[in-house]
Amino acid sequence: MLKTFKLGGVHPAENKLTVDKSISVLPIPKIASIPFSQHLGAPAKVLVNRGDEVKVGQLIAKGEAFISANIHSSVSGKVQKIDNVVDTSGFRRPAVVIAVEGDEWAEGIDRSETINKEISLSQKEIIQKINEMGVVGLGGATFPSHVKLMVPEGKKAEVLIINGVECEPYLTSDHRLMLEKGEEMLVGVQILKIALGVNKAMIGIENNKPDAIKHLSELASQFEGIEVYGLKVKYPQGAEKQLIKALINREVPSGKLPIEVGAVVNNAGTAYAVYQAIQKNKPLIERVVTITGKSVKDPGNFMVRIGTPISELIEAAGGLPEDTGKVIGGGPMMGKALNSLEVPVVKGTSGILIMPDEEAGREEVLHCIRCGKCTHVCPMGLEPYLLEKVVMAEDWERTEKEKVMDCIECGSCHYTCPANRPLLDYIRLGKNKMGQIMRNRAKK
């Protein structure tokens, strides 16, 4: 029996079109816009001015708050302006716009391909360095990694879980990374283990990637304390809480962090970024992005500099198809629909999905027929139909009681609803309102 989580889950069509496309390097863009807020938490504080010359890897914005992250220039050139640009959030937000000149790297960055397995830094130094290099969780939530690695007092990390699940349909960036950079990734896992002070790491990979499971299992035998597990294909297995449940059969209590059950989850891509940061001294300035879609001419996986406009990425994949209806940053289940093609690639962009118009539209919304499918598929054991109802009625007390804040926004309910009800839309609205109410309460 393959491991998996117990409650709910759906199985959307996988559509992993780019599974055989190896990672190629996307040319450096002419203009890169690097937003200050590419991570969860406070935006970083800008350090450069208009007209400044910057090099690749140079720190251009510093994360000063506790939950924040440093931002480095991914290109070399001149700062054209510091202005608002539309980013993946759909809003105009401050960013550094750099006119690219050449490709000049800052000193001290090792760009060679040789794999360095010797880890010379101590626990504290590692966390410090990860902070400096601006590494954030690359799975999508972009939580600053150094914060995640600092185990709060009174808690003890027992196991490090590496998320190689990639349960989102279409996306293959982690899959390709595990295949092509597996060894570097495992060194990254070793570094993360030291940072956490644990001696066991588990890598969870869904069973639809047998090549990655095989490859990593072979490599893992060279390292101590790393185990690779194949998991049954079920969405949303890549969600933190579900993955912990699947691998070590522990449930993170409502409103708590995974450390509560002794686990820390990091994405496979993050492990690779950690390797680059620690062993190669290379900040997080590029990442693997899958560009895919059914009518995209030449879908693929690309190593992309942060700040590259997605229009260049689309160009590299053969241009925007005629029938495009929606452009999504991320996967189809949790990604964000973008409202502009000039949006820059940020640290959290794991893929760009271009959907044809006939698939992109939402169908007519009917009355709830109380089929209960949403309740059956909710991985958190919530009742989405009820949450929708109470949010519509603005009954916030009931909304809180029905644990709206537990929702992980995986979208399974909305996906499965035969009446096409926008369940997650209303649940998100409810979460938002509840957040406000709870903040107000905390103030008092």
Partner 1 sequence: MNLLRVSGSPHVHTDNSVKKIMYGVVYAMVPAIMVSVYFFGLDAVRVIVLSVVACMLVEFLIQKYVLKTTITIWDGSAMITGILLAFNVPSNLPWWIIMIGAIVSIGVAKMSFGGLGKNMFNPALVGRVFLLISFPVQMTSWPIPVPIGGTALTDAITGPTPLGIMKEGLAAGKTVQDIMPDIPNYVQNLMTGFQGGSLGEVSAIALILGAIYMLIRKIITWHTPGAYIGSVVIFSGILWLVDPSQYVDPLFHLVTGGMMLGVFYMATDMVSSPMSAKGQLIFGAGAGILTILIRVFGAYPEGVSFAILIMNGFVPLIDRAFKPVRFGEMVKG
Partner 2 sequence: MNDVLIYSIASLGAIGIAASVILYFVAQKFKVIEDPRIDEVEQALPAANCGGCGFAGCRAFAEALVKQGDEKANLDGLNCPVGGNETMAIAAKILSLEVEEQDPLIAVVRCNGSHANSPKKVNYEGAGSCAFAHNLFSGEGGCAYGCLGLGDCVKSCNFDAIHMDPESGLPVVNDKCVACGACVDACPRDIIELRPKGKKDRRIYVCCVNKEKGGPAKKNCDVACIGCGKCVKVCPFDAITMENNLAYIDPIKCRLCRKCVPECPTGAIHELNFPIPKVKDAVKPNQPEVKDVKKIEKPEGDKKLVAEEKVHDSEEKTKPGNSEENSSKSSN
Name the site residues for partner 2 (rule: CB under 8 A): 84, 86, 89-92, 337, 339-340, 361-362, 364-365, 422, 425-426, 428-429, 432-433
Alpha carbon distance 174, 194 (integer Å): 23
Tokens of 418: 């035969």
241 binds, among partner 2, partner 1, none (CB under 5 to 8 A by kind): partner 1
CB 404 within 8 A of CB 430: yes
DSSP track, 128-187? HHHHHTT-B-TTTT--BHHHHHSPPTT----EEEEE----SSS--HHHHHHHHSHHHHHH
What does each C-alpha distance from 108 to 111, 118, 360 come to in angstroms?
9, 18, 46
Sole binder of partner 1 in the list 30, 422, 434, 437 (CB under 8 A)? 422
Handedness of CA 30, 35, 40, 43 (dihedral sign): positive
Query: Considering beta carbons, is residue 86 or 317 the nearer one to partner 2?
Result: 86
**Token pair 């495992």 is at which residue?**
186
| Residue 128 makes contact with partner 1 by CB under 8 A | no
Q: Is 271 in the site for partner 1 (CB under 8 A)?
A: no
Assess 385 for contact with partner 1 (CB under 8 A).
yes
Q: How far is the CB of 435 from partner 2 (least distance, A)?
A: 10
The one of partner 2, partner 1, none whose footprint includes residue 372, by CB under 5 to 8 A per kind, is: partner 1
Query: From the list partner 1, partner 2, none, which binds 328 (C-beta under 5 to 8 Å, kind-based)?
Result: partner 1
User: Do strands 300-305 and 286-292 pair parallel, antiparallel, or not at all (unpaired)?
Assistant: antiparallel
Out of partner 1, partner 2, none, which partner does residue 419 contact, by CB within 5 to 8 A per kind? partner 1
Of residues 45 through 104, those in contact with partner 1 by CB under 8 A are 90
41 binds, among partner 2, partner 1, none (CB under 5 to 8 A by kind): none
Tell whether residue 14 is a contact of partner 1 (CB under 8 A).
no
Told to check if 415 binds partner 1 by CB under 8 A, we report yes
Compute the least distance from the CB of residue 423 to partner 2, in Å.
9
Instruction: Tell me: cis bond preceding 169? Omega within 30 of 0 counts.
Output: no
By CB under 8 A, the residues from 236 to 265 that bind partner 1 are 241, 245, 249-254, 256, 261
- Of 100-108, 155-163, 299-307, 376-384, which part binds partner 1 (CB under 8 A)? 376-384
Query: Between residue 148 and residue 177, which ones bind partner 1 under the rule CB under 8 A?
Result: 169
- One-letter amino acid at 423 equals L
CA distances, 27 to each of 4, 106, 123, 313 (Å): 39, 19, 36, 9
Residue 126: name its binding partner from partner 1, partner 2, none (Cβ under 5 to 8 Å by kind). none
List 132, 383, 395, 400, residue binding partner 1 (CB under 8 A): 383
d(CA 389, CA 430) in angstroms, rounded, equals 10
Angle at 129 between CA 119 and CA 284, to 5 degrees: 100
Angle of helix 173-180 versus helix 268-279 axis, rounded to 10: 50
Site for partner 1 in 299-338 (CB under 8 A): 320, 322-328, 330, 332-338
Task: Show Cβ contacts of residue 42 under 8 Å, excluding neighbours closer than 6 positions.
Answer: 63, 64, 65, 67, 68
Among 84, 222, 339, 436, binds partner 1 (CB under 8 A): 339
Nearer to partner 2, 84 or 221 (CB): 84
Please tell me whether residue 380 binds partner 1 under the rule CB under 8 A: yes
Q: Which residues contact 256 (CB under 8 A, 6 or more apart)?
A: none
Q: Quick one: what does residue 86 bind among partner 1, partner 2, none, with the CB cut-off 5 to 8 Å set by partner type?
A: partner 2
